Structure 1
């Protein structure tokens, strides 16, 4: 009886092995005919028994599974990417343990192809504003091809766009840990016909220069992204409310990038949020000393002061930016806005007054003060038109100010300039 039982067991094992191989052959045949769905069905039938199969059969099974799911992913089943990647990794792991690499080379090549597919799919996701999906795909592509660290960099950017700051933080920290630099050589030359500087591949650039259609070849290394990464880590910590971690990140970032003014500004803003105004002012003064002739710095100081209610500080910073760059439209618009906003604030005070003689007198005083502020805002924009006469943002804001003042002559003049 025991002998019969052993025979029956052996028979069942043999039949199971036969079934596995039969389903794997069916999957292989389906893949050759381009029917990934049928291959998937056959592989699913064999999945329950594959763990007990020999390593060679397992490697074949997972290799076919990788192919089938990769094909399904390319045909629109985005969830199949992960299954494909896991299957190819299993193939390589199995063959490493046995020392027989029948499928490893092709599995590795297919993983590179899947990585490219993931990146292309992520590009489409970003265009469709499906940022979380894009981040997931880009991170998967990075896992498939760790040497292409740029995939991780773009995964972090997509995570920020999705609003998933914890995911973005994890990715940026991983970039920092692997020492991602992100700088690369750019090969530029000047188009002789247009006078524009263009970036191209080195071989192409050299040929164009040799032909005489381009001149002034320049080889230049782009800026490292390490400062940006550490800065983003600090900003995300701030966004998540982890202020101590953010301050530590700023200290580390500034130690590595002592000349980065934006780091100083961001750190200053965090100290302001924490209520340490003395530290805030000290850092802002440091930033101004670092780049006294940088109009963007003074503009940014103006923005921060404006956001934090320091109107006079904002005006001084905007005027300094305009002094350095007389055509700085954004500084001119914001400077004008400080006057308009202050004037609008008086309207609430005017509306809160009663009808007594004293209230009516106060109303007239407020109105006169408001009009003077609006006129000051208009004067700033009239000056802006001297360097940017066709700027629509300047013209639109100026038209609105004259409309609020009831200055019909100037209102119609600006309308005409706008082509209305």
Structure 2
């Protein structure tokens, strides 16, 4: 049998093993044999890389995605995958370089912008992260993710007015965004606006009755204004979630 045909059969076998939940060593063995017969079978490297990543074997995952980048140097997704692995390894400089390469290949990819902004955050590069998030927002104004990420960044730097504005932008587009509701409630607590905080925490609980954070924060606010009955009820609900 021709080597490439044999490689394809082995790749499909690996996919089948993976889909039915076979032992990982059987899946890995099939993909490795596929690559043995066709060392340019990029999909096998990708699948193998994600398996190693799931097993937290980042070194092997990185090697797989490096091989993909060498085989497909014009594929931005290959660089995004490699950057993601480097980020998990806390090799932030390498991750940034991979994301920048992905961005050069596909300048309008919002996911890549978010990846790059996130790693810039992790490097402590606040200003460039803000620029990336704003660039993504300008490109895709109705995409909630960059607005939420920017709001969290502002929140982490205690830039409350800016954070509130971005959380509002998220909630204008998705009034049921639980994390934005909860984070905005927490901001109002810090700003001393207990009425708004209570309203938002109650909204979270209405949407997600088992949300422990919202129940606990609601209890904290009620306790701070000496409404002990409501505080007790909220804490009890938190304890049972």
TM-score (normalised: structure 1)? 0.45
Residue 289 of structure 1 pairs with residue 138 of structure 2: yes
Q: What is the DSSP-based 3-state SS (H/G/I as helix, E as strand, rest coil) of the residue aligned with 2:28? A: helix
After TM superposition, which residue ranges in structure 1, 4 or more long, deviate above 6 angstroms?
Answer: 107-113, 413-416
Cα distance change of structure 1 residues 249 and 117 upon mapping to structure 2, 3 Å threshold: closer
Cα distance change of structure 1 residues 382 and 157 upon mapping to structure 2, 3 Å threshold: same
Q: Which residue of 2 aligns with 1:392?
A: 209
Q: What is the DSSP-based 3-state SS (H/G/I as helix, E as strand, rest coil) of the residue aligned with 1:392? A: coil
Deviation at 1:138, TM superposition (A): 5.0
Cα distance change of structure 1 residues 291 and 109 upon mapping to structure 2, 3 Å threshold: closer
Deviation at 1:272, TM superposition (A): 3.4
Structure 2 counterpart of 1:233, from 82, 100, 119: 82
TM-score (normalised: structure 2)? 0.72
Deviations 1:186-210 (A, max 9, x none): xxxxxxxxxxxxxxxxxxxxxxxxx
Cα distance change of structure 1 residues 283 and 409 upon mapping to structure 2, 3 Å threshold: closer
Aligned equivalents of 2:26, 2:78: Cα separation in 1: 19
Deviation at 1:179, TM superposition (A): 3.1
Cα distance change of structure 1 residues 135 and 318 upon mapping to structure 2, 3 Å threshold: farther
1:135·1:159 contact (CA, 8 Å) conserved in 2? no
Cα distance change of structure 1 residues 253 and 109 upon mapping to structure 2, 3 Å threshold: closer
Aligned equivalents of 2:171, 2:187: Cα separation in 1: 15
Cα distance change of structure 1 residues 397 and 136 upon mapping to structure 2, 3 Å threshold: same
Cα distance change of structure 1 residues 122 and 318 upon mapping to structure 2, 3 Å threshold: same
The answer to which structure has the higher strand fraction is 1
Q: Which residue of 2 aligns with 1:19?
A: none
Cα RMSD (Å) of the superposition? 4.0
Deviation at 1:298, TM superposition (A): 0.8
Aligned equivalents of 1:141, 1:231: Cα separation in 2: 26
Aligned equivalents of 1:159, 1:252: Cα separation in 2: 23
Higher relative contact order (CA 8 A, sep 6+): 2
Residue 140 of structure 1 pairs with residue 32 of structure 2: yes
Gaps of 5+ in 1: 1-103, 182-225, 343-368
Residue 380 of structure 1 pairs with residue 200 of structure 2: yes
- Equivalenced residue count is 232
Deviation at 1:321, TM superposition (A): 0.3
Residue 164 of structure 1 pairs with residue 37 of structure 2: no
Aligned equivalents of 1:413, 1:269: Cα separation in 2: 35
Cα distance change of structure 1 residues 331 and 119 upon mapping to structure 2, 3 Å threshold: same
Gaps of 5+ in 2: none
Deviation at 1:122, TM superposition (A): 4.5
Q: Which has more radius of gyration?
A: 1
2:147·2:166 contact (CA, 8 Å) conserved in 1? yes
1:118·1:138 contact (CA, 8 Å) conserved in 2? yes
Q: Which residue of 2 aligns with 1:255?
A: 104
Aligned equivalents of 1:135, 1:159: Cα separation in 2: 11
Structure 1 counterpart of 2:119, from 270, 276, 292: 270
Q: Which residue of 1 aligns with 2:185?
A: 336
